[in-house]
Structure 1
């Protein structure tokens, strides 16, 4: 697995707010989109950070530097779509 890339503080603030308010989010990742409710942010021993979400499939932790963008789907949200990381470009030979 690649080393963790720290995300910008302003993005972290949006994620914390989503967790505090229990926003349902559209989470865009390089492996596909996930619709789920934000639960909490955690930091692991290696200093990597994860967003824990819950949907009909259960709970899952998503590494923050694997998230491309989040969009709140809940009514009364206080922010719009937030881009977290640019999509990785494929390596050229």
Structure 2
């Protein structure tokens, strides 16, 4: 890519002092263009398949975790005798099994 002499002017009153100072630091070190370019390239990558794939992976991992937890609860319920009848009767507190 050839060296470009174009300049952009950012006009906004919504920049916090912290953001403005960071941009000023990059501008003074003559790295503002590279910094902005890297942010835009990252956004372009995220907006394509990158973000969707990460979200799909997180969703899959959550479902797997829930599935495993439910499986463990089922085993625990079976081993403690909690499962067996389809109806729950009110029992005296002393007769309710403690988990």
The TM-score, its normalising length taken from structure 2, stands at 0.23
Higher relative contact order (CA 8 A, sep 6+): 1
Give 1 or 2 for the bigger CA radius of gyration.
2
The TM-score, its normalising length taken from structure 1, stands at 0.24
More helix per residue: 1 or 2? 2
